[in-house]
Amino acid sequence: MNSVAEDPATVENKAGEAFLEVRDLSAWYAESRVLHGVTFDLRQGELLTLIGRNGAGKTTTLRSIVGLLQKRTGTIRLEGRELIGLRPFEIARLGIGYCPEERAIFSSLSVRENLFLPPVLMPGGMTESELFQTFPNLKARSASQGTKLSGGEQQMLAIARILRTGARLLLLDEPSEGLAPVIVREIGEIIKKLKARGFTIILVEQNLRFARLVADRHVVVENGKVVDILTNAELAADMNRVKSYLGV
């Protein structure tokens, strides 16, 4: 099994200044330590995936970035500003949007009410017309109860909801989970369009085929540690290298 040949921080700094820097990040749920010195960088406009087995620490990494874990050490910097020590609402106001795996659609609200529930936190968020152009299914179902949507439509709603806030960094947790292949392809096209618009994205993903279609680089997480970082070309050239980590 291969490991990272040199410090990921050194590798990334060679490629240019990072938009997001994660250094030696450790995190705990109560007394259980889940992350053990996670380190990676993300450049502005880049799409990075976190891949690994279930329970490897991928979701915990996203939750740590947005401040949902109280106990965490290390460094998380967005454009040079330290996030550790800030509360979740303060981090959101810096332009980070988090789309959790469970989607968190409110059953008592319509699609439109769910969509407009989060406040606009920064300039530059997508307008209503832009959102409905990007997600035409949501426009057609805007008066429907949020949880009456299909799984794919709920995922689109969860993503659309953070786009109007003005977030520049999107953290998407398992957007393809449980969806039919045709819907996964549709979600992939939407994510690629968001990247083309200039959004910077971290994607937690189990589906390697889906990850290859949308990402620039892949960070492999195992037992709460970064064990490899691959470009998309490296992943395509040596799928067995990653499959050895994932046990597939």
Burial 39-50 (b: 16+ CB within 10 A, else e): bbbbbeebbbbb
Q: What is the mean pLDDT of residues 232-240?
A: 86
| Domain assignment of residue 62, given as a range | 45-67+88-246
CA end-to-end span of the chain: 14
Q: What's the total number of domains in the chain?
A: 1
Task: Summarize pLDDT for 54-102 with one digit per residue, the tens.
Answer: 999 999 999 999 999 989 999 999 999 999 999 999 999 999 999 998 8
In this model, does residue 15 exceed pLDDT 70?
A: no
Task: Summarize pLDDT for 204-227 with one digit per residue, the tens.
Answer: 998 888 888 899 999 999 999 999
- The pLDDT assigned to 6 comes to 44
Task: Summarize pLDDT for 105-118 with one digit per residue, the tens.
Answer: 999 999 999 999 99
Q: What is the mean pLDDT of residues 239-243?
A: 81
Residue 100 lies in a domain: yes
Burial 138-147 (b: 16+ CB within 10 A, else e): beebeeebbe
pTM over 0.85: yes
Residue 7 lies in a domain: no
Residue 9 lies in a domain: no
The DSSP call for residue 148 is G
- The pLDDT assigned to 239 comes to 82
74 with 224: CB under 8 angstroms? no
Helix 151-163 / helix 181-196 crossing angle, nearest 10 deg:
10
| Dihedral Cα 87, 162, 100, 138, nearest 10 deg | 160
Residue 210 lies in a domain: yes
Task: Summarize pLDDT for 188-202 with one digit per residue, the tens.
Answer: 999 999 999 999 999
Q: Looking at residue 55, which CATH number applies to its domain? A: 3.40.50.300
% of the chain surpassing 90 pLDDT:
75
Residue 28 lies in a domain: no
CA 82, chain centre distance (Å): 19
